[in-house]
Amino acid sequence: MNRTTWRKRLLGISGLAGAAALAVAGCSSSSTTTSTGSSSPAAKVPLVVYSAQGYDKAMTAAFQKATGIPVKLDDNSTGPLLTQIEASKNNPNWGLLWVDGATAFAGLDQQGLLLKGFEPGVTWNSLGTQSLPADKSYTPTGVTLMAALVYDKTKVASPPTTWQALTQSQWKGAIGMNDPSQSGPTYPFIAGMMNHLGGVSAGQQYFTKLKSNGLVIHPTNGPTLQALTSGQIKLALVQSSAGIGAALGDKKLAVRYLNPVTILPSAIGIDAKAPAAEQAEAKKFIAARLLTQRPTRSTRVLDFLLLSAVALPSVVFGAGYIFAYNLPIMSTLGINLYQTVLLLVIAYTASSLPTNSRVLVGVVSQLQPSLKEAARTHGAGELVAWARGVLPVVSWPIVMAFLLTFCGVFLELPLSQLLYAPNSPPLSVAIEDNLSNYHFGVGMAQSVLAVAIALAAVAAVFGGYRLLAPAGWRRIGETTRG
């Protein structure tokens, strides 16, 4: 009964840990200004967003709904967007550029096309600090991986596991990738592969082998993924956000990462020649994008309380429950939990929750919001987006948190002694009673049996995860460790 109860509790914890809210409403308080001496508010200037992100539609729609600022989204690949900017640089018609890779922004910055000196009031982590340019001409917002290997699970049972395997004859004419002259993230991917292989010459030899093996080149992520779904190719080398979004929208597709991959920062830059009103709106958009990932004050307070609770001994919890639920007012209110099994279960839950929350917080804090956002853009609901985009990443940590709770509660003694119901002693209390009454044989037999049950339960959970969890879920843990 205890194990079943704890399994339900921990699944509830994982659901809370995976939940996220779009915190952009705070940016709307100053979005409307009133001219001096005017009786009506000034009209809002449309914010023109050039974006190559797979989840930009969801973000711009949420921003417009929260702030009332009209947004005109031009969703395209990085190459075409940069071509549009270059063609109209003397008379630009964009306000904000949101793409992956710092190379594009460095080129625009050298031409004086980006607004410099703007930095949103957020606290950067180490990666964000490293990605922030010295002149603050663009703002890093996250990371993406290049390249992700996307394939159809119904047609490819055993996808390649190394980059060298792509040159084998079994994949002749079956691999597609983006054109580096049109797809912004593809150029850094090729440069990263050359660095991994030992230099430009080695990289040229590798890609020459791929070409000889029938490598199919498509302009950008969209056409490459379309060739995959239509059966023209079997393997697609695309950007991770595009691959994840496609897999979340099509259950037949799967994503695998070959070692190594190139990490690219996602960044946003503001047009230096845009009207002041549009630049102000662009700054609000950047702030909103970053604030969705920033812990709120209530989150930090809750984290502090959970961390403090870890230091409290179990005896303190038990004494507190005795004093609280033995008060006369509890009987008056009809809350008669003292000396019941339910109170013991509540105490187990409360004492284990802080530790398990701390175990899961590190994993959850590293989740990229683009996982859910890409799924929502491709039509998935909130629950489906979490189940298919977040749950696979946190599944193994949840299993480990469950085992930590089970092993900690199975033979827990202080709380059990103080709160167990009459005539219903837990196993730990029964063992302690036998040993204290010099029934050493019975007590030792119970102890050995308890340890055997615990080991069997751990083995069953490990085996069940290995047998029942999808192969992609298990590879996430293997990739992290390797």
8 A C-beta contact, residue 48 and residue 87:
no
d(Cα 54, Cα 241) in Å, to the nearest integer? Answer: 6
d(Cα 323, Cα 303) in Å, to the nearest integer? Answer: 26
Phi, psi angles (nearest 5°) of residue 305? -65, -40
Q: If phi over 0 gives left and psi between -120 and 50 gives alpha, with beta otherwise, what is residue 412?
A: beta
Domain range 2-19+297-481, CATH class: mainly alpha
**Cα-Cα-Cα-Cα dihedral sign, residues 308, 312, 316, 321:** positive
**Cα-Cα-Cα-Cα dihedral sign, residues 35, 41, 43, 47:** positive
d(Cα 411, Cα 428) in Å, to the nearest integer? Answer: 5
What is the end-to-end Cα distance of the chain in Å, rounded?
Answer: 38
In Å, how far from its chain's centre is CA 391? 9
Domain positions in the chain are 2-19+297-481, 25-34+42-143+265-291, 144-264
Average pLDDT, consecutive stretches of 10 residues, N- to C-terminus, the chain (482 residues): 37 34 32 36 81 82 91 88 91 92 88 92 79 91 87 92 94 94 86 92 94 94 92 93 80 88 88 94 89 65 76 83 87 86 88 83 70 60 76 88 90 89 89 91 93 94 91 63 36
Superfamily of 144-264 according to CATH: Periplasmic binding protein-like II (3.40.190.10)
Query: Cβ neighbours of residue 41 under 8 Å, at least 6 residues apart?
Result: 32, 33, 34
Domains 25-34+42-143+265-291 and 144-264 share a fold: yes
- Count helices and strands (H / E) in the chain: 21, 9
- CB burial of residue 328 (10 Å; 0-12, 13-18, 19+): exposed
Number of alpha carbons in the 13 Å side-chain half-sphere of residue 432: 11
pLDDT of residue 355: 83
Supply the CATH classification number for the domain 25-34+42-143+265-291: 3.40.190.10
d(Cα 62, Cα 158) in Å, to the nearest integer? Answer: 40
**Cα-Cα-Cα-Cα dihedral sign, residues 472, 145, 368, 481:** positive
Phi, psi angles (nearest 5°) of residue 151? -150, 165
Phi, psi angles (nearest 5°) of residue 50? -95, 120
Nearest alpha-carbon partner for 443 in 451, 434, 455, 452 = 434
**Could you give the angle at which helices 440-468 and 427-436 cross, rounded to 10 degrees?**
160
pLDDT of residue 37: 37
pTM, two decimal places: 0.55
d(Cα 480, Cα 471) in Å, to the nearest integer? Answer: 15
d(Cα 406, Cα 419) in Å, to the nearest integer? Answer: 18
Query: What is the token pair recorded at 213?
Result: 């093996």
Query: What is the token pair recorded at 74?
Result: 């031009």
Query: What size, in residues, is the chain?
Result: 482
pLDDT of residue 28: 33
Question: What is the helix (H) or strand (E) element at residue 167, kind and residue range?
Answer: none
Using DSSP, state whether 139 is helix, strand or coil: strand
pLDDT of residue 296: 61
